[in-house]
Every structure is written in structure tokens, then in C-alpha cells.
Amino acid sequence: MSRKENEMNPIPADPGKPDAPTGSRPSYARQALFIALPVLLIFACAELGARLRERYIPPMPVDVGQGFNPDDRLFVPGAGGMMETNPQKSTSFQHQRFALVKPRDTLRIIALGGSSVNYLDYEFEQMKQALALALSDRYKDVEIINCGGLSYGSHRLVLIASEIIGYAPDVVLLYTGHNEFEELEQMHLATLSDTKIQRMLTISAFYRFIRDKTAQQRIKNLEQSRAIRDLSASIPDSSRTWLHRFSEDEIRTRMADFEKNLETMIQLCQDNQVPVIIGTVPSNWYRPNLPGTDGERYEAVTSLFEKGQVDEGIKLGRALLREATPRHQSSDLENEIIRAVAHRWALPLADVEAAIIDAEPRGIPGETLFNDHCHLNPAGNEILRRLYQQEILNLVQS
């Protein structure tokens, strides 16, 4: 076929082959946009749905950094010149409200510690009434600000002390010693390196929804584990079976940090002419919280108590608790440091441990005056309160 015939009768296109493109291909940026648009649309719908849900179900309060950030504040300004507990701290602290500028003729007492202080609201009310009556010739009002944080140890209490000193306390009560190893777990969970990212993500309602659902599932798992433990009467407690067991050197380091933190808080108060009353921290020797092999070893102590060999049981129990790792309550190590610090700084000492031992029928802390491994029951808390109350009276009247 000649060239002219080919031009007059072009070869038809093969139906099995695609037509050649008539225009240029989309740019990479445009392709990425086409992919991203559906994703953004899905996220926008999820975000809108989460925000609508929060109108009826508010998000859970979350303390990003869990109190380990130096810029964290326990109290934030409220209306009318008042200070209020930071809403983000509401899961760890009792709600408190007080005037930023302390009223005239007011005795302002601030209590620092862990959950044992957090649970003292009833006793603090009794203390306020007793002090107001005893000191009516000096003060028109008595305030007690509860700064007890759940699972808070001395590391985070130093940061709180540096804040509360600005609220013009007349007396600071210090009661801590159970959470020195527990706080290490909290520090690990806080993931301090991610706090800035967490705060940025918290802007999103959809992120808050996912975060809350995850937290609720974890809480449910913990509650199930606790229910199983409550059915068991054995000493070993799997509630705190950490993967890491502290060496003797690590225990010594943590106790050195405990002593240093106590002295830092005391120095801070003394620099601001604020007296401190410190207390020993009794521990449950009858049924402590010791996971794993430490709990199994402690069953020998329980056996001695049951046989009536109280002195032998106390001696062995104190030694085992002192060496136990991990542990979630004070031991002789913590209380020896507290007593030494009180002596060195000439502080009033509320010797709660000695008073609890004296009040127990057989001298075994935990037999009648504890709710669990470290928290006193109402009768025990009354003993604690009366000791601190008397030291406050001695301090003010002198």
C-alpha cells in the first residue's frame, strides 16, 4: 500500500490497547492531595462526632506529666482572688479553695504527703475545730489546705513545696514515706519526653476520646485484678509485681534521694520562716503488700504471730520489710531517715509509728489500726491527727 493510501485509510486503533493520553499526568502534589482529602474528611467527621459527644460526656481529667514537670501547678487562679485545685490534678488531689492573699488573723496550715494525707479530710475538719477553739485568742480562723497526692513521693512533693511556699503558710505538715519506690513507677508511666506532644494532641477531641477509652480499659483490668486479690487471703500480692527488682545499691540511692528531698523541702520552708512538723510513717507489719518471693518469705512472720511469738515475728517482719524490693509502704529505712532529719534540723516530730505500736493490742501495726498495707483506718487516723494537732499547739503557743 502506498503512502498516500495509508494516509487516506488510516489503520484503526487496536481495541485491546488503551488510547494514548491526551493530557499531562497529575502532579505528585495533586495525587497526594487526592489521597489526603478522604483521610482528612474521615478525621474531620470523627473530630466533630467526638466534640458533640463531649457535650454530654465530658472528657476525663488527665494530668500530663503526672506532676514531674517543674512548671506544673497544683493550684490555679479562680474567681474573686481565690486559688483552686487545678482540674487536671483532680484525680490525684482533693479539691481545695482558698484566698491567694491570706486573710488577716488566719492560721494557714498546709499538709504535704501522699494518699495517707489525701484521705485525711475528715480529720482535718476535726483539727480545724479543735485549733480554732484552742487558739481563739490569737486567730479568727484556721485553714488547712490538703496537698496529699495519690502515689506522690518526695520527688514530686519537692515541686509542690516550692509552689505552696508562695501561699504564705504558717505551718507545713510533712507526712511521707510510703511511695518512694511507687513513685519510680509513676515516673516511668509519665513519659516525660512526650509531654509536649501529649499536650498538643489533647487539643483534639478525637484524641481525647481514644485516650479515655484506653484509660477506661486499663482501669477495668486493674479493678478485675483487685477483685481477684480481694478473694485471696495470702500475703503475696500480684498487684505490683514489677519487672524490675531493685538492687541494694539502688535501694541505698533511693533512700539517699528521699533524705535529700526531705531536707530540700525543710530548707525551702526555713528560708521563708515557715516551721515544719514532720511525722514518722507507720507500716502494716501484720499483713504487708509484698509481691512474689518477698511475700512468700513473709508468711513465716504471719506464722509466728499466729503462734503467739510476737517479739520474734516483729523482729523478723521488720528485717524482711526493710530488705524487700519492690515495696509499697514504709520500712525502718524510711523512718530512720525521718527521725534523723527531724533531729538534725531540730523539727517537731509527730511520732505516729510509735503511737500506733503502743495503741495496737499486741504491738503489731496492722492488726487493728490499718485499712490495708499502708493506710490507717479511722481510729488510726485519729491518732495521727491528735499527734500533729498537739505539735501545732506546742509550736504556736511557744
The mean per-residue pLDDT over the stretch 255-269 comes to 95
Q: Which of 62-71, 292-301, 322-331 has the lowest mean pLDDT?
A: 62-71
HEC states along 91-129? CCCCCCEEECCCCCCEEEEEEEECHHHHCCHHHHHHHHH
Whether residue 226 contacts residue 238, with contact meaning beta carbons closer than 8 Å, is answered with no
pLDDT tens digit sequence for 136-188: 999 999 999 999 998 899 988 999 999 999 999 999 999 999 998 877 665 55
The CA-atom distances, in angstroms, between 316 and each of 41, 108, 290, 319 are 66, 43, 14, 5
Q: What is the pLDDT of residue 56?
A: 77
pLDDT tens digit sequence for 98-120: 999 999 999 999 999 999 999 99
Q: Residue 13: which pLDDT band, with cuts at 50, 70 and 90? A: low
Q: Percent of the chain beyond pLDDT 70?
A: 75
- Greatest CA separation found in the chain? 127
Q: Which of 21-25, 216-220, 337-341 has the lowest mean pLDDT?
A: 21-25
The CA-atom distances, in angstroms, between 36 and each of 42, 43, 204, 219 are 10, 11, 18, 35
Instruction: Tell me the torsion sign for CA atoms 184, 185, 188, 191.
Output: negative
- Reference 242, options 188, 197, 301, 307; nearest CA is 188
Adjacent-strand bridge partners of 79? none
**How far apart are alpha carbons 360 and 369 in whole angstroms?**
7
Adjacent-strand bridge partners of 85? 75
* Helices and strands in the chain: count of H runs, count of E runs: 14, 8
**Grid cell at residue 330:** 514504709
Q: The pTM is what?
A: 0.75
| Residue that has been written with the C-alpha cell 491528735 in this structure | 386
**How far apart are alpha carbons 213 and 53 in whole angstroms?**
13
**Grid cell at residue 180:** 518512694
**Grid cell at residue 351:** 511520732
Whether residue 251 contacts residue 366, with contact meaning beta carbons closer than 8 Å, is answered with no
Q: Is the pLDDT of residue 132 over 60?
A: yes
Q: What is the pLDDT of residue 306?
A: 95
**Which numeric CATH code is attached to 106-188+232-397?**
3.40.50.1110
